[in-house]
Amino acid sequence: MSSFLTQFEIFAGSRIRLSFALTALTLLAVVGGAQPPETLSDPALDARYQALIREVRCLVCQNQTIADSNADLASDLRREIREMLVEGASDGEIADFLVARYGDFVLYRPPLQPNTWALWGGPAAMVLIGLIVFARVMRSRSGQPLDDDELDEERGAMP
């Protein structure tokens, strides 16, 4: 940082500008300092860490993952996960740890179990019902004469 400052000093060539630069740099340092780099030195472990924190919901700000969130709790949970990874916990163990404390809701991808069948199966069931209804309507319309109601609609008459 000092070498950068020296270069900047030469560039700016004025004490006033330098003081501005120092203020700006201090502000940057303050803002940047709020989030020290949270990485793990082992690249394989870090990759797992980065993937894990994108799967965990921040419960304070429910539509963010703990990777995205600046909330205090999110940073505590990230720290906890880092510590567990370093201690050699598997991804499954970490997920179990979080679920035991915060429930399935903490995972962005809830496990497939009886109380989530509707959640996982719901969309497919909806599509299936839609297809069945669609097929029946198509079959009943093909080749069959219109009934009175439909004739009325065709003519634009009041039912």
Partner 1 sequence: MWRYAIPVVLLAVLGVFLSRGLTLNPTYVPSPLIGKPAPEFNLPALKDPSATVGSDVFEGQLSLLNVWATWCVGCRQEHGFLVELARSGGIPIYGLNWKDDRDTALQWLDRLGDPYVASAVDADGGVAIDWGVYGAPETFLIDTDGTVLYKHIAPLTAEIWRDRFVPIITEKCGTFPCPQGGPGRQGFDQSE
Q: Which of 17, 54, 101, 139 binds partner 1 (CB under 8 A)?
A: 101
Q: Which of 102, 107, 110, 120 binds partner 1 (CB under 8 A)?
A: 102
What backbone torsions phi and psi does residue 69 show, to the nearest 5 degrees? -90, 140
DSSP state of 87: T
Cα 1 to Cα 94: distance, rounded to the nearest angstrom: 38
Please name the residues in contact with 31: beta carbons below 8 A apart, sequence gap of 6 or more: none
Cα 52 to Cα 70: distance, rounded to the nearest angstrom: 16
Q: Pattern of binders to partner 1 over 51-80, x per CB under 8 A?
A: --------xx-x---------xx--xx-xx
Q: How many residues bind partner 1 (CB under 8 A)?
A: 16
Q: Does 89 bind partner 1 (CB under 8 A)?
A: no
Residues that bind partner 1 (CB under 8 A): 59-60, 62, 72-73, 76-77, 79-80, 99-103, 105, 149
